[in-house]
Amino acid sequence: MGGWRSVNALVVSLWFCAAPANAETAAECKKRLGNEVNCFIMNAKSTHLLCSVTVQLALLDSKAVEKSRECITEVRTEMSGHYKAALARLSKNAPGAGLLKDTYATWQTSIGSLYPNSGEVRLQYNARMGVQQRDLDDKLNRLDLEVPEPRVSKAGAAEQKKMQDKMRSCSGDASAQGLRGDGRKEFMIQCLGG
């Protein structure tokens, strides 16, 4: 088949499985992924894909146009929360915050131009979408690489918590014994080493 009808069954399945109705808040995402910047990156990619699919379906079926417009409105609202959380996280990292702002602007532009321009043929549309997708991917990858964020595995996080708990316990014991200065330092070394 030619034209817009080349969308396959996988895309249609994705549409029905990935509706934005159960959007994850920035706080929920931070709990799951560990930090706000990772949440922004992951959600920018997934929301862009979701709305791209809804627009492709709307081009096949005019009944889906309203659903695609809703998708764009909903993901803009959702991404605004992730953007604000990531920006707050980077408040003391001016270069990182600048890169985040640029990436968010690129995402906004790309989401806003998912529909074909008037008179645009499929080949032109696909080329334009490819350029926008590469630009967005490049900025998201730069953000991921250039903005240092702690990435701790579950095992590493458990070990880190165990060590923090031990430090708290040793510090409490040293305080209970009234230790200060070198005596406290020696006690902490022995306590943490044992």
What residue has token string 């992730």? 82
pLDDT greater than 80 at residue 162: no
pLDDT greater than 90 at residue 105: yes
pLDDT at 9 (0 to 100) = 38
pLDDT at 106 (0 to 100) = 95
Give the pLDDT confidence of 9-54 residue by residue, as tens digits: 334 434 443 444 456 777 787 777 778 888 899 889 888 888 888 8
Give the pLDDT confidence of 56-73 residue by residue, as tens digits: 877 777 777 787 888 888
Q: In the structure, what pLDDT confidence band is assigned to residue 97 with cuts at 50, 70 and 90?
A: very high
